[in-house]
Structure 1
Amino acid sequence: MATFGIIPTFILISINSFAQTKNDSIPLTINEQNTIFVKAVFNDYDTLNLNFDTGTTEMVLLNDVLKNKLKSSPKLYNTFYNLKIGSTIYNTKVYDAELSGHGTDGRFGWDLFKGKIVELNYDKGLMIIHKKLPENTVKDQKFTKFKMEFFKDLFLVESKIAQDGIVNSDLFLFDTGYQRTAMLGNDLLMDGKFPVEKMKVLKTAIMKGAQGNEIPVITSNLQLLQIGEYELKDVPIQRLTANKPLEGRNIHILGNEILKRFNMFLDFQNNAIYLKPNQLFNDKYIDK
């Protein structure tokens, strides 16, 4: 079953990081389930594989890891601990969950990098933390710029979906922790009079959320998903039939089976995203 990378109740940002003197290049791994992760050292002693999940905040460790793997017993929710990623040490609270991305011990959110620039380069297998945006690189390599829209400490990007001549434009949660292509919310589809009944059903399944909760979904064929000028055709998307992913807002979700197809800069200084297709862009979809 796929792992749904969104924490049901979101935590307000409360993370500070130590000063960084240079760009930090960190080996980045992506597995067959579209989980991206890096090695990190928690609380000075424990080396962990952690998913970089832009669909959450702070740090989450699996219950099994908390009980059986750590050399210490951290106090959850209110105490700050050191987390070393690359050569930089960040301060973060710790939360617990039943599930995380395949092959990982937990995950950390985007807000560790507030005020920084995060580059994800899948072609080179690197996650690079920049002090400032390398504007020449972005310009010379012809990255496309998108605006970040924030809701409850999470960021979204505008994208389009199209089926049988009907086009809807909405904000999508930018979620590297969600392992599939895209999750479309039924309420938004109904509001946009999107022809759901004309989408070919590929399969139905039960997914599990971060706390082990069951989420019924339908996988259907979407004729077109467009992010800026980039078009992806015949995408096997998931339709959420219950349990709104964000309390208080209907949204769609872009998952890492789509996002991995782009090298990117996440500019948390100016709230912008820069995307450029990479060597994975034309890979087959897992759900096909």
Structure 2
Amino acid sequence: MRRFRQRHRSNTPSFGITRSIGIDLNPFRIGGIHQVPRYHRQTKGKSPVPGIPHVLLVAAIACATSGASAGANATPVAIPFEQDKDHRIYVRGSVNRSESLRFLVDTGADGLAISRAIVPKASVVIDDRTENTGSDGVTTMDYSTCNDVEIGGLHTRMGAVVVDYRNRPFDAVLGWKFFEGKVVEIDYDRQQLLVHRSLPDVTGYTRVNVRWIDNTPAIEVTLGNGDAIFKPWLALDTGSNGSIDLSHAYSSRHGLMEVFTQKVGTSRFTGSAGNVIRAVDVRVPSASIQGLAIGNAAASFPIDDDASTGDGTLGAGVLRQFNMLLDMKTGEVYLRRNQYIGVDPAGK
């Protein structure tokens, strides 16, 4: 049996907007998908790709995931994307040469998850099981070990978790391993993903502090209120339509309830075992990434223990303010301000 760990959450603010983070595993909880055991691991300035445990070696050889390929052309591959009101990134592609499918691009996940509804038409073969460890329970799910995934003319072979999606605006969720060995440019101004074979000109970009934690990128974010300054490492998660979501462990350890007191709302989310966890949404007077200011910054932190081990998550509400270069060779991340800087995430 394979294992992956669910690491994110879905929030439902009191005013009725659903915040979804990562991959949807049931109608209430969403989490990043990880198709191999994710031991707590931090790397700095190294390749983001972890070692593969021996128990998964046979499957890894049978369906190797070495990143998307499209011949030897040095010109970057341009993939148009669209954004819904949730500000997340959606692209068109196929699984096993299927009809056109809608993918959610999720940098907070490393693997692939597909909706059970597309299994027949995408010729997906369910030949294994995988264990999902959530913050409040463990569930077992179907798994398909080898699938041909195509996005914008790029192809790679990937295993996939099969998920019973309901009322979600996508057919599949695409983690960063599809782009392994490439450099992904996310251009919100032109609404394009540009996939490069090597790092392009970084003039105008700022290289940010990054750590790869549990096989996903986390960047250092500075939050402040007067003399009180905090620097959490937040998972860079385009699969989240939240903004700054801090974990219960981090917010409790630093007493953030007493520091950020300008409350703007409340939230709640339900874990995979059905436990309801409450959260508070607050305004953050000062927020930045390596000197790049975050406009209209707001943060959320749980009142109840969410069992998270990391500091939190940086979602699309913030990330869309910056064009990005994600180097999937070195693990480095570069940011540049764009036209959405300072735009209220609840607005345009």
Residue 71 of structure 1 and its aligned partner are, at CA, apart by 4.5
Post-superposition offset of 1:224: 1.7
Match of 1:200 in 2: 262
**152, 158, 161: which is aligned to 1:95?**
161
Structure 1: which 5+ runs fail to align? Answer: none
Which string of whole-angstrom CA distances, capped at 9 and with x for unpartnered residues, describes residues 54-97 of structure 1? 11111112344447xx3534314252100001111111111133
Query: How does 1:21-60 map onto structure 2 within 5 Å?
Result: 21-22=72-73, 23-60=76-113
Which residue, out of 20, 39, 56, partners 1:3? 20
The 8 Å contact of residues 265 and 273 in structure 1, kept in 2 or not, is answered as yes
| Partners of 1:277 and 1:207 in 2: CA distance | 31
User: CA 1:63–1:204 in structure 2 vs 1: closer, same or farther (change >3 Å)?
Assistant: farther
Rounded Cα–Cα distance in structure 2 between residues aligned with 1:234 and 1:123: 19
Deviations 1:38-62 (A, max 9, x none): 0011111231110110111111123
Match of 1:119 in 2: 185
Q: Which amino acid aligns with 1:93?
A: G
With 28-37 and 232-241 compared, the bigger mean Cα shift is at 232-241
- Distance in 2 (alpha carbons) for counterparts of 1:211 and 1:92: 28
Measured in 1, the distance between the counterparts of 2:172 and 2:261 equals 35
Q: Which amino acid aligns with 1:74?
A: V
Contact 1:116–1:267 under 8 Å retained in 2: yes
Q: Is 1:183 the counterpart of 2:233 in the alignment?
A: no
Residue 123 (structure 1) shift? 0.9
Q: Is the 8 A contact 1:236 1:285 kept in 2?
A: no
Identify the range of structure 1 (183-192 vs 87-96) with the bigger mean alpha-carbon deviation. Answer: 183-192
Specify whether residues 213 and 97 from structure 1 end up closer, same or farther in structure 2 by C-alpha distance, changes over 3 A only.
Answer: farther
- Equivalent residues in 2 for 1:229-244, closer than 5 Å: 229-240=291-302, 241-244=304-307
Unaligned runs of 5+ in 2: 1-17, 24-30, 37-48, 50-59, 127-141
Aligned partner of residue 46 in structure 1, secondary structure: coil
Kindly provide the amino acid, as one letter, of the partner of residue 329 in structure 2: Q
**For the structure 1 residues 101 and 54, does the alpha-carbon distance in structure 2 shift closer, same or farther, using more than 3 Å as the test?**
farther
TM-superposed CA distance for 1:159, in Å, is: 1.1
2:330 is aligned with what amino acid?
N
User: Cα distance 1:162–1:103, how it changes in 2: closer, same or farther (>3 A)?
Assistant: same
Could you tell me how far apart the structure 1 residues matched to 2:321 and 2:169 are? 21
Return the offset for 1:213.
7.4
Match of 1:260 among 310, 316, 320: 320
Runs of 4+ with deviation above 4 angstroms: 98-102, 208-215
| RMSD between superposed Cα atoms in Å | 2.7
Write the deviation string for residues 173-227 of structure 1: whole angstroms up to 9, x where unpaired.
1111110111012321233344536422222222356898755322111112211
Aligned to 1:17: 67
Residues 16/203 of structure 1: CA separation in 2 closer, same or farther (3 Å cut): same
Q: CA deviation at 1:285?
A: 2.6
1:5 maps to a residue whose letter is G
Cα distance change on mapping 1:101 and 1:17 into 2, 3 Å: farther
Q: Is the 8 A contact 1:4 1:208 kept in 2?
A: no
Further displaced range: 195-204 or 48-57: 195-204
Amino acid at match of 1:87: G
Distance 1:147 1:101 in 2: 37
TM-score calculated relative to the size of structure 1: 0.87
1:107 to 161, 173, 181: 173
Partner in structure 2 of residue 84 of structure 1: 150
Is contact 1:235–1:285 with CA below 8 Å preserved after alignment? no
Matching residue's letter, 2:157 = N
Q: Quick one: distance in 2 between partners of 1:185 and 1:224? A: 19
Give the residue type in structure 1 aligned to 2:337: P
Q: Tell me which moved more, 124-133 or 11-20.
A: 11-20
Match of 1:62 in 2: 115
Output the CA distance in 1 between the equivalents of 2:293 and 2:183.
Answer: 26
